[in-house]
């Protein structure tokens, strides 16, 4: 075999090994778990809770806007997720309004949205259930401009 033949043969095996190495590496990448397209992390404050709730709402086809939620939260609880109304007609019959959007337990349970906590005081669960209720009753939380 000529020197050129030996070089060509060596190059073939070298290229083949490189191609095989790339294929193995590509296979390893394909087998590796992909970076999840998880929802972005939101801050644990009113802004973050609204954004997280909107992500859940929109994934379920429930309408609502940041402005509509924000406006109603400020009116209902001033942004306090532990707010509870112990003086209105609901409280008088034993079902006080609770949380950011002042939801009563039966309404929260009926309009709870899958993927959120069953704790009525959980800010995202409270917002999401209230918005689901408002969507069914008024078309959207955006249409609510007073107690509902």
Cα–Cα distance for residue pair 109/41, rounded to 1 Å? 26
Cα–Cα distance for residue pair 90/28, rounded to 1 Å? 60
Average pLDDT taken over every residue of the chain: 81
The confidence score (pLDDT) of residue 95 equals 97
Strand partners, 140: none
Instruction: Categorize the per-residue pLDDT at 99 as very low, low, confident or very high, splitting at 50, 70 and 90.
Output: very high
User: What does the pLDDT average to over 86-108?
Assistant: 97
What is the per-residue pLDDT across 15-48, written as a single tens digit (0 to 9) for each?
Answer: 333 333 333 333 333 333 333 344 557 789 999 9
Neighbours of 140 (CB within 10 A): 16
**What's the pTM?**
0.72
Cα–Cα distance for residue pair 39/116, rounded to 1 Å? 14
Contact 140/63 with Cβ under 8 angstroms? yes
Cα–Cα distance for residue pair 7/129, rounded to 1 Å? 72
């Amino acid at each position: 075999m000529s020197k050129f033949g030996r070089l060509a043969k060596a190059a073939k095996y070298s290229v083949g090994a490189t191609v095989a190495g790339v294929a193995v590496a590509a296979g390893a990448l394909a087998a590796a778990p992909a970076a999840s397209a998880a929802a972005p992390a939101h801050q644990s404050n009113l802004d973050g809770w609204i954004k997280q709730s909107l992500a859940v709402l929109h994934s379920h086809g429930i309408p609502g806007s940041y402005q509509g939620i924000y406006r109603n939260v400020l009116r209902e609880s001033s942004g306090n997720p532990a707010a509870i109304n112990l003086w209105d007609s609901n409280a008088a019959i034993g079902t006080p309004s609770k949380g950011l959007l002042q939801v009563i337990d039966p309404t929260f349970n009926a309009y709870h949205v899958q993927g959120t906590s069953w704790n009525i005081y959980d800010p995202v669960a409270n917002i999401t259930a209230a918005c689901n209720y408002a969507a069914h009753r008024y078309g959207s939380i955006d249409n609510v401009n007073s107690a509902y």
